[in-house]
Structures are given as C-alpha cells and as structure tokens.
Structure 1
C-alpha cells in the first residue's frame, strides 16, 4: 500500500510515499472540493457547478458532466494508487444518492487521520486542549508547526470551503491561546512570546492580545534580571551567559577566583593584596572574614601540586615565597558548591602582579577540566578575569570575555559535562567599557567553524597595579 499524505493547511500538497505528486489545476481543485466536504459524498452535479463553474443545463449535459468528472476522478485514483493495489478505490469512493430526479452518482474522499493533515491537526489540538501543561505544550507545538498558511488556500472565499475553513481557523486560534497558556504555566514565556507576537500582529485592534503580549515581555524581562547575553554552545548541554552583577551574589553557581602564582591572601596595609581585589572579597564574603581558614584550605589543596620554585626572604621579604605553575587550580568546597582558585598571573618580588594573554589562556585551559571533574555540573560564575588589578593590558574587556568563552567551548567539545552554564559576571561599573557586540559575535561564531585566533597569539606581557583580580 502506498503512503498517502494530503496537506491542505496551506497550499494543497499531495505526496505518495513521500514524493510530491503533480496534478493538473482542475484535478487539484477537485481534490480540494472533496476534502472540504469533510468525508461527505459530493454529487457529480455539485462538482460540475463548484469545481468546473458550469451551471447551464443543456441537452445531454448530465452525461457529459459524468464523463468529465469521471476522467478527473480516474486521474486522482491513479495518483493515489501508483502500484494498482486498490488504494485508489478505497480513498476515492463512488456512491449513489437518491434524489428527486432519481439515483445520482457522487464521490466521497475517505482518508485516515494520518493521511490528511487537517484531520491530524484536529486530533492533536482536541487532545491537547484537555491535557496537562507539559503534554499540551508538546502537542500544540506539533499542531501549530503543521500550519503553512490559510487552510484550503486554493478555495479561499468559496462558499463550499467556508465551513471547514472556519472550523480550522477556530482550532488554530484555540491552539495558539492554549499554547501561550501552557508555556506560561511551565515558566517558559520565551516560547510563548513568538505566538503572542504573531496574534498581536494579525489583530492590531485586539486589546487583550496586546495586553497579553506586554505581560509576556514583562515576565521575560523579570526572568532575565541582569542577563545581557545568552547563547547555547552548539551540540552541548551548556549555555554561555553574560550578566550584570556581583560575582559573590551568584549563590547557585560555583565561583572562579583568580590568584597569583604564590596564592597570597594577605591584605594588610594593601601591600601584598589589595582590599579591593576579588581575593579579598572572597575572604570577607565567602569565608566570613576568616583569612586563616582560606589559607589553610589553600595550603591543603596545594599539597597535590609541585612548586616551580621558592624565593628567598631577601628577594621577597613580604608575602608567600613558594611559586606554583600558571594554571594551578585549587578546589575549595564551600556550602555545597566549589570555589576554583586558579593562578593566572605572577607576583613579582616587587609585589606587582603581571600576566599576559598566553598566561591567561593557559590558566583557563587548565581550569576547565578541573571544573568538569569537581564542579558537580553546576553553573560556574567567572568575573571578567584579567580586567582587575593584575590587568592583562594587551586585551580589552571584550577580548578577555572572548578568551574565557573560547576556552570553555573548546573544553565542552572534548567533555560535554564541564558545566551546564558559564556565567561571566560583569560589574555594573565595567559595563560601559565592554563591547558587547564583539562578545555577541564571538558567541555566534560558536555555531560555525572555530573562530579566528584573534587572541590566541601570545602578546607581550604587561605590568599592572599590584595584585590580581
């Protein structure tokens, strides 16, 4: 048996075993008229009047009518049944109607729901209107996705098509309303928004539709909060998000905090570490001001790492003297989440932190595998690392964000379970200084081939103010 598919939710289409069938214009119109009958038989006389436009009753006209209609019916049956298995007669049946003039031939189109898109659409919508929100949303999305234009487009304005067109238009409107409602109930106003926008566009004078659209947009603004950009890493279950805010307010996320290669934490007299640094805020806001507690946990974590050298007291009289490789990361468990303390700059014996793009890239490339291993697949929040007191002056803020994004995406391609969300947190005071269009371009480039190495080439190192952050 051939697989038949008649589609009338837009310009009519007939497919046999997935291959489009080509009908003459008159036969196409006959098919549309039979579909519009909604399973009822249509007399030959009616077909001649409504499909051929013939109204005159001439001598011998009845026989000519039957012959002309039969010719087109035969074309349709052969199209429905290319292998001559009997499907043509099953789908397009001849019946006899009793009229005042005696028996009259009529034709009836009998299609299963899976063979006629309007029937399948009706079943999907009716089932979804009584379903729970998640089930309803899925069924309604499938149904609305079937719409390609006006139903029975070739018969638009014809009286015979009006009943079915009104019914399908009513179902479409009910499906749209229910889809918006179900997605809103599921907390997905972003999925409801395009449908609400289309309704408001089609009905510019509909006050309730405009009000609903405004409400959805307000809910989206509330949900996004400080969110600036969001993008899904292609092929991976991870989003990259830029948010305006404070790193230490990201209570649902693991945190990344940059350190120097000596992992200094002392803020005494602002000599070694500045009180304004991210490390100092880490002490105050995560460890309750207990610097010794942070030091103990750092010391414990660093036992697993081999130092690269130790300074003498004469060469470095202040601060810690043991140095660790760039990219060394210590995992600090805190209240069910993790703080990743990662070394990306070198603290000189003159107590000035220095880093260059190559150091930062290396640190990030070594950081993400640790996040994948120890991060419990939680979101990971990162400051605009390199833009603080140990400024990577060779890169602007957009390039710094791009470097974070690129290294994260590269790691996700190797290990999809790095984190379900990378959240780059930008302080409000930094926002005006970052080119978000450049960052958005980087995010779009994730969808295609690997972006050009705009910041991959190591640039000369640059000295910055004391400390990192």
Structure 2
C-alpha cells in the first residue's frame, strides 16, 4: 500500500511514498474541505457549494453537482493510489447519508494521525501535556517544528475551516506556553526568550505574556543566579539541587573539588594548575593564596594512602611526582567545613589532565563514602566535575550532571543514615545555557515519586 501524508500546517501538500504530488486548484480545495470536516462525511451538494464557491441562492442540478464532484474525487483517488490497489477508495470513501431531502451521496476522508500532520501535531501536544519535563520538551519541539505557517491557509476566511483553524492556532499557543513554562522551570531562560517574543508579538493585548517577557529579559540582563532545580528525595532523606552561583559562597556546605592523580596545587605562572580552575580558586579564596598550606593539608590527608607510582625528575620536570589511584579522596578541613579533594583525572607528564567516565564514576563512589563518613551531615556543594579543563570529551554537560545525580542516588540507598542532607551542584552563570537540565529534572522526579 502507498504511504500517504497530507500536510495542512504549511501550504497544502499531498505526499505519496514521500513524493509531493501536483494537484489542480479545485482538487486542492476539495482535499482541504474534506480535511476540515474532521473525518465526518460531507454531502455532495455541500462540497459543490463550498469547493466551487457557489452562492447560497444557486439552484443545484443534482446530476451536474455529482458529476463535477466525482471528477475531482476520481482525480484525488488516482493520485493517492496510482496502482489502483483499493487504497484510494479506502481513504476517500463514498457513503450515503440521511438528510432532510432523503438519502444523499457524500464523501468521507479517513486518515490516521500518521497520515495527517495536523492530527499528529495535536497528538504530540496532548501527549506532552501529560509527560515528564524531558519528554515534554522533545514532544513540544517536535510538534512546533511541524507548524510552518497558518494552518489550512488555502481555506482562510472560509466558514467551514474557521473551527479547525481556530483549534489548531489555540493548540499551538498552548504548546508554546507550555514549552516556555518548562524552560523557565529548568532555568533555560535563553531558550524561552524567542518563544515569548513570538507570543508577545502575536498577542500584544495579553498583559501576562508581556510581563513575563519583561521579567525574562531583565533576568538575562542582570545574569542568572540562585536555585534552578530543587528536588527532595524523602526516601533517601536528602535532596538534589542545581544552583547558579559561586561554589565558594555556598554557606554551610562542604565543598567538592576535583583534582588530578598528583594533587598538584601550584598556580605559579599557570604552568601546572590554572589560577582560573576550581583548584586555583580553592588556593586563592579558601587558603588565601597560600598553596603551601593546602599542600600540607593534602599530604596529611593522604598519609595513609598507598601511592600508585612515583615519576622521575627526567619524565616529569614540573609539579608533584607522586601519583595516587584514581578515586582517591583527601578530606581537608577549611574554615569550619571540609573540602573533599577527589582525584578523577590523570595529569600527564605533558601537564595535560585527562579524564574518563569510568574514572569519574569511581571517584564519585569514593567521594560519597568519604562524605558519609567525614561530612558532619552538612550539605555537599560541587561543580560540574568533568566539564572543565580535565574535560571528559565523550560526555555532554547534561550527561555529566545526570551521571553525578544517579551516582549520588545509588550511594544514598547504600549509606545509612545518608550521604548528606543535600547535594548542591553549582553551575556558573555562563554554563547554564549550555547545560540541558531536562533529563536531570525528569530523573529526580521519578526518584522522588
């Protein structure tokens, strides 16, 4: 059977097996009239009046009406089913329906949602309204991508098309408003902005949309900050949050800082450790620029850990030469809280740090165990480990944040009473727009329920 597709969310097109077919103007009007009927039969007299634009007072000739309509029906059936396998008659059916004038001939267009873009569009939007955020975003973006102009534009102004056009337009507005709501809930303000601008331009009288647009623009101008995602996990007696802000200003929280396997801290001339890195900021902001004090505390924390190897001066001329196993965690006290220095990357002798997903998973497992033992039941604040200079190249930011959350939840089920009262993943304002939080929100919703 041929694959049929009728598109009315853009200039009307009939596709058969992926190829758009040419139709005469009258046949196009007939097709769109039958689509507008929503699967209901349309009497021949009504088709003749609407498609041929015959005035109400016209005296109909039943034989001529039937012949004119039948010509166009035959043309349409031939295009739909050139091999005459019966698909044309199945999709465009001939029926007899009772009317005030007795039984009359009528035609009904029967299309599945896969065969009619407006039906598929409505199904996607309705499914999105019941879906979790990550699925809803995909469904809504797919639906809105189908909408490429005024629906049924060839029948604009026609009485028979007014109701379906109005219904599709309202459904599109609903889809855009729901997508805006989800983007704002997930902190994706830049993704919400163009949708809001379109809505405001099309509905200038809507004060609520105008106010929301102004709020989003103001938020973007002054920079994003604060809690973007927060989900309590009662069964684990903890919560997971995503915060836009400064890692070192997370009051009352222990800090997680990713290190290489050598636990280098020297920031002189940015040769070994960049002053802009999280480790460099730890030296400057927590230890007042005194790298020696941090180094001393790290050595004290690592004194019971068996080194993995020791590099020679010839092979590694700069920086520390003692290597510790990936996953090693050094617990360092600082300003009334604790810093969990976790080795998740390997610093090569070329001074380039390299990390893998397996190494990150192992370091996270060890991190949660150390936090449960030494964290004093304080919140745990950490950056998006694996996205910085020691980047895990095969993982996108959304993959990393989901990996961290899943690892934390697994640990929460294993450690009692809990790892920490809250895991706080801290993003910089510039990183938020590059991090899709929809998958994280969906996962946390599932765990929370």
Q: Give the TM-score, by structure 1 length.
A: 0.58
Mark the CA change 1:371 to 1:116 in structure 2 (over 3 Å): closer, same or farther: closer
Alignment of 1:142-221 (within 5 A): 142-218=142-218
Does the C-alpha gap of structure 1 residues 151 and 245 become closer, same or farther in structure 2, counting only changes over 3 Å? Answer: same
- Matched with 2:43 is 43
Tell me how far 1:123 sits from its aligned partner: 2.6
Give the aligned partner of residue 333 of structure 1: 329
* Alignment of 1:368 onto 2:354: yes
Task: State the secondary structure of the residue aligned to 1:5.
Answer: strand
- Give the CA deviation at 1:164: 0.9
Structure 2 CA distance for aligned equivalents of residues 61 and 416 of structure 1: 68
Structure with max Cα Rg: 1
CA contact (8 A) 2:256 2:340 kept: no
String of CA shifts for 1:176-211, please: whole Å, max 9, x gaps.
222323343444444433322221122233221111
User: In 2, Cα distance between the equivalents of 1:37 and 1:183?
Assistant: 36
1:25 & 1:60 partners in 2: Cα distance?
22
- By how many angstroms is 1:38 displaced? 1.3
Q: What runs of 5+ residues in structure 2 fail to find an aligned partner?
A: 227-243, 273-279, 331-338, 365-383, 402-433, 435-449
- Aligned 8 A contact 1:257 1:340 in 2: no
Matches within 5 A, 1:89-104: 89-104=89-104
**How many angstroms does 1:293 deviate by?**
2.9
Q: CA contact under 8 A between 1:257 and 1:342: conserved in structure 2? A: no
- Provide the rounded CA distance (Å) in 2 between the counterparts of 1:85 and 1:126: 34
* TM-superposed deviation, 1:152: 0.4
2:17 & 2:207 partners in 1: Cα distance?
Answer: 46
Alignment match, 1:307: 312
Give the whole-Å Cα distance in 2 for the aligned partners of 1:78 and 1:341. 66
Give the 3-state SS of the residue equivalent to 2:149 in structure 1: coil
Conserved in 2, the CA contact under 8 Å of 1:77 and 1:92? yes
SS of structure 2 residue aligned to 1:150: coil
Q: Does 1:30 align with 2:26?
A: no
Q: Aligned residue pairs: how many?
A: 338
CA distance in 1, matches of 2:357, 2:103: 81
In terms of mean alpha carbon deviation, does 90-99 or 106-115 score higher? 90-99
- Which residues in structure 2 correspond to 1:419-458 (within 5 Å)? 420=400
How far is the alpha carbon of 1:254 from its aligned partner? Answer: 2.0
Tell me the CA shift for residue 81 of structure 1. Answer: 1.6
Cα 1:297–1:31, aligned 2, differ >3 Å: closer, same or farther? same
TM-superposed deviation, 1:162? 0.5
Cα–Cα, structure 1 residues 97 and 49, in superposed 2: closer, same or farther, change >3 Å?
Answer: same
Q: Deviations over 1:289-339 (max 9, x none)?
A: 465334567998988333326xxxxxxxxxxxxx94247676673444437
Report the CA distance between 1:169 and its aligned residue. 1.3
Do the aligned partners of 2:7 and 2:13 also contact (CA within 8 Å) in 1? yes
CA distance in structure 2 between the partners assigned to 1:144 and 1:368 by the alignment = 40
- The answer to whether the 8 Å contact 1:9/1:146 transfers is yes
How far, CA to CA, are the matches of 1:277 and 1:199 in structure 2?
43
Aligned equivalents of 2:107 and 2:73: distance in 1?
9
Distance 1:341 1:280, change over 3 A: farther
Deviation at 1:148, TM superposition (A): 1.4
For residues 16 and 416 of structure 1, do their structure 2 counterparts lie closer, same or farther at Cα, with a shift above 3 Å needed?
same
Is 1:292 aligned to 2:280, yes or no?
Answer: no
Find the residue that maps to 1:115 and give its secondary structure. Answer: coil
**Per-residue displacement from partner, 1:103-157 (whole Å, max 9, x unpaired)?**
4322111112221121222233334334454454443333223211111011111
TM-score normalized by the length of structure 2: 0.60
Return closer, same or farther for 1:257/1:67 CA change in 2, 3 Å cut-off.
farther
